Amino acid sequence: MSANKESWGSRLGLILAMAGSAVGLGNFLRFPVQAVQNGGGAFIIPYLVCFLVIGIPLLWIEWAMGRFGGKYGHHSTPFIVDTMGKNRLWKYIGVFGIWTNVAIAAYYCYLESWTLSYMMHSLLGTFKDMEQGGVADFFNNYVNLNTSTLGLPYEPIVFFVLCLLINTYVLSLGLAKGVERVAKIGMPLLIIFGIFLAYKGFTIEAGESGAINDSSVGLNYLWTPNFDELWSPTVWLAAAGQIFFTLAVGMGTIHCYAAYVREKDDIALGAMSAGWMNEFVEVVLGSAILIPISIGYLGIDRVTELVKLGGLGLGFKTLPYLFFQWGDVLGAIAGFMWFGLLFFAGITSSLSMGTPWIGFLQDEFNWKLRSSAWSFGLIVLVLGLPTVFFFNYGVFDEYDYWAGTVSLVIFALFESILFAWVFGMDRGWREITLGADIQVPTIYKYIIKFVTPLLLLWVFLGSLFTPKNNDWAAAFNGSWELDNSSIVRKLLNSGLKEQLASAVSPAEIERLQDTLFYVNASRALLIMVFVGIALLVYIAYKRRIKAGGMYEK
């Protein structure tokens, strides 16, 4: 008999936890940069289209699959997926829903720990007298493990372990007493901090506190539409990719949260509420902080350079300096709120990543909650330490690319086909609308069956065979040379090998050779973890057969 007796304490707690799973660091660090790089205001058109035809359908699919599997006592994706198709291989597709979360948590908790450290440094005034270059150097020293504050040797490792302990402890308390309570506290605080910082971003005036531009300059830079970009497949691929990042679909966490919903409880409105709450945080709050504040104090040219470095460069290397332009006290408060906002966004997401593994151990091996939670913490610690020690050798980025990007698309593609074509769209539609508190538009029955799988296939193929320099026009005209960012070229390490071939200094050659080694080693480690989880699923399946406990389909 399963040791899993978990349940949600309230519907509000479930929705906040689901929204917290979706609202993450990407809402504030990735979205505004993606918008700037892909047409500004014009980006919002493909972004919203992808939200409506990929995001919302996948939310309904995953909520429905989770609740359906939960009726049979399954709280992890391998056996949730297995309830919906007769082929025995489906359960191994479901392995993505555990593996992805373990692998993402391994580097995400490290990133999350940065925010915890920066909250402390903001209050201590560490950045108070630093120039922007000094703040950037602080970040570089941090990821190189050269930062030591208050006598803490290897401070980044200390905060990584501390952050992981907090996550594991909360998970060990269970859904209602742990995850739900954190969501009920963290999500409101995140929004309050976000509203304060957005207000500051909206009210910057040139000449005040060293600002060189009004807030309108930054907002116009972000949202002035470049409609020429609207017809580029690259922009649409970027929009679809952002939807995966922002809604946490294709991971398996939503399935597992929904598996604890009662059979006739609403999922249609719940999925919409969580989805639209995430969109509010991302589009309204996320776009009002990073870019407008940076341009207000640094100007468009400087920020344009920094945007190329991505959201981490702006969020960690720039904003701590800018906040202290408002004065020592307000700068400390703003820094604490900014990194506190990121921390709450991070922890509500990382907590959801532990649920599939914990549910799997409880269901299949009768582990107790605390043992399951601490085993998750131990695995994430072991798998995550390479991202800490070898951050500058590409291990962090490899985890993010394969687990946090590619696998999401693959799993989402498989689950959309399973739900609409194997399980059957009529049965799937009944599952979505069962107990629904809203009238689900009938058009979505056809969007889920035809449009969503085709768009997911297009996203996957577009990522697999990305043309050089994202020049789709040249590719469609017959000159289809693969870009180094394509999955095919990534697998071959083409970009690294080209850098190695052109390197001349012995130091640079040695660094690139080391990077190539660690990149391949990190991939091997990820593959080993996937195979290990698949083996556990096989053992669990055999245990069920032996016990005669397989469910009816």
- Domains identified in the chain and CATH numbers: 11-547 (1.20.1740)
Q: What is the mean pLDDT of residues 199-218?
A: 92
pLDDT at 548 over 80: no
Dist CA 390 CA 387 (whole Å):
5
- Give the pLDDT score at 228: 85
The amino acid present at 54, given as its one-letter code, is I
- Give the pLDDT score at 553: 46
pLDDT at 200 over 90: yes
Q: What percent of the chain has pLDDT over 90?
A: 80
Tokens 């903001």 sit at which residue?
122
Q: Is residue 149 very low, low, confident or very high in pLDDT (cuts 50, 70, 90)?
A: low
Per mean pLDDT, which range of 1-10, 11-20, 210-219, 325-334 is the poorest?
1-10
The amino acid present at 348, given as its one-letter code, is T
DSSP structure class, residue 261? S
Under 8 Å between Cβ of 244 and 250: yes
Q: By C-alpha distance, which of 496, 500, 473 is closest to 484?
A: 496
245 CB contacts (<8 Å, ≥6 apart)?
A: 24, 26, 30, 404
> What is the four-CA torsion angle of 77, 80, 83, 85, rounded to 10 degrees?
-40
Q: What is the mean pLDDT of residues 410-439?
A: 96
What does the pLDDT look like over 267-279, one tens digit per residue?
999 999 999 999 9
- Give the pLDDT score at 3: 64
- Structure tokens belonging to residue 186: 């963290």
pLDDT at 503 over 60: yes
Beta carbons within 10 angstroms of residue 131's beta carbon: 10
33 CB contacts (<8 Å, ≥6 apart)?
A: 290, 307, 310, 311, 314
pLDDT at 1 over 70: no
Q: What is the mean pLDDT of residues 229-240?
A: 88
Q: Is residue 313 very low, low, confident or very high in pLDDT (cuts 50, 70, 90)?
A: confident
Dist CA 58 CA 417 (whole Å):
11
Q: By C-alpha distance, which of 167, 172, 146 is closest to 157?
A: 146
153 CB contacts (<8 Å, ≥6 apart)?
A: none
Phi, psi of 211 (to 5 degrees): -70, 140
450 CB contacts (<8 Å, ≥6 apart)?
A: none
Phi, psi of 467 (to 5 degrees): -75, 160
Q: What is the mean pLDDT of residues 191-207?
A: 94
Q: What percent of the chain has pLDDT over 70?
A: 98
* Length in residues, the chain: 553
Q: What is the mean pLDDT of residues 402-412?
A: 94
Dist CA 405 CA 398 (whole Å):
10
Per mean pLDDT, which range of 3-7, 119-123, 511-515 is the poorest?
3-7
- Checking phi first, is residue 441 left (phi over 0); if not, alpha (psi -120 to 50) or beta? beta
List, in sequence order, every residue forming a beta bridge with 482; answer none if it has no partner.
Answer: 467
Per mean pLDDT, which range of 97-106, 162-171, 306-315, 542-551 is the poorest?
542-551
Q: What is the mean pLDDT of residues 173-193?
A: 95
Task: For the chain, give the mean pLDDT.
Answer: 93
Q: Is residue 552 very low, low, confident or very high in pLDDT (cuts 50, 70, 90)?
A: very low
Determine if the pTM surpasses 0.85. Answer: yes
Beta carbons within 10 angstroms of residue 528's beta carbon: 11
Under 8 Å between Cβ of 259 and 362: no
Dist CA 124 CA 119 (whole Å):
9
Q: What is the mean pLDDT of residues 489-511?
A: 95
- Give the pLDDT score at 550: 54
